Amino acid sequence: MEQAQWRARESAHHERVDAATADHLERRHEGRKHPVNDFLWTYYSHRPAQLRRWHPGAGVGLRGAQGRADWKFYRYAGGLACVDVPAFLAARGDTVRFVRDLLAATASRPAHLGCFGLHEWAMVYRLTPEQVRHADWPLRLGASGTDEVVEAHQVRCSHFDAFRFFTPPARPLNALAPTRDTQPVLEQPGCLHANMDLYKWAYKLTPVVPSDLVADCFDLAREVRALDMRAAPYDLSDLGFEPVRIETTEGKQEYVAAQREFAARAQGLRRRLVDVCDAVLAEPGQSDVSST
C-alpha cells in the first residue's frame, strides 16, 4: 500500500475514533462518570489511544512507514513495514486458536432470544440501595419490585462474565451454571455480552486484525451496551436512555427485536474475525505481503 493511500486510511480511522471517544475523554478529564458510555473503557482493557492507532492487518505492506519498524509485532524490510505474523503467533498463537474456536463454535449455534436482559436484574437481586453497583441511579421499580421481576421470570444467562456478577441469592435461579471452562460450549450468538465481547477479541488480536474491523466491533459494542442498560432495572432517563420495560409484553417485544438485529450484525463480524484467524494460522511462516 503506497504511503498516500495508507496515510489517508490512517487519518480516516483517527477521525472515526476521535469522534467516538471525545465524550469519554472529556468526562475523564473532568472526573465525571457515566454508567452506560464508560463501560467499554472500565470493563475492557483497551484504551482510547490504543484504539486510535491504525493497523492494516496481517499481510499488507506499508511503503514509507519506517517509523513502524519499532512497533510491537512489526518488521521493516525492502521498504515495507508489515505485521510480523510469525512473531505474533510465537507470542499469542494460543490466544488466536482459542478465539478462533470460540467464535466459530458460537457462530454455529442458533441465536437464543428472550433472555430479556435479566442478567442486569440478577446483579442487583436482594441488594440494599447502598450495595447496588450504580447506586447513583434509582431502580425504576424499587428494590422489592426489581426482586419480583427476577422471581417471576426464568433467568437463563449463558455468559460467564455476566453470570459471575449475579448476587449470591440470584445464582441458583439461573437455569445454567456457566463457568470459564464451559464458555466455548455455552456461548450463543443472541447473547448481548457475547456480542459485545467481539470488541475484546478483536483488540486482543491487534495488530493482525485490521483496525477497521476492531472499530466495527467497538461500534456494535457501544450500541449493545445502550440496549443492555436501557433494559436494566435502573432509571437512566435523565441521561437520555429511555427504558425498555422488559417486565411488560411490549418491552419484551422491543428487546427481542433489537436483540435479533444485533445478533445478525454480530454474526457478520464474528465471521470476519474467524477469517482473519484462519488466514493467520494457515501460514504461520509467511514472509510475503500483498502490495497494492
- Would you say 241 and 269 are in contact if contact means Cβ atoms under 8 Å apart? no
- Would you say 74 and 81 are in contact if contact means Cβ atoms under 8 Å apart? yes
pLDDT value of residue 201: 98
Please tell me the pTM assigned to this model.
Answer: 0.94
List the beta bridge partners of residue 155.
174
At 155, is the secondary structure helix, strand, or coil?
strand
pLDDT value of residue 285: 52
In which residue ranges of the chain is pLDDT below 70? 284-292
**Cα-based distances in Å from 16 to 21, 124, 222:** 9, 35, 14
- Would you say 74 and 83 are in contact if contact means Cβ atoms under 8 Å apart? yes
At 120, is the secondary structure helix, strand, or coil?
helix
pLDDT value of residue 288: 43
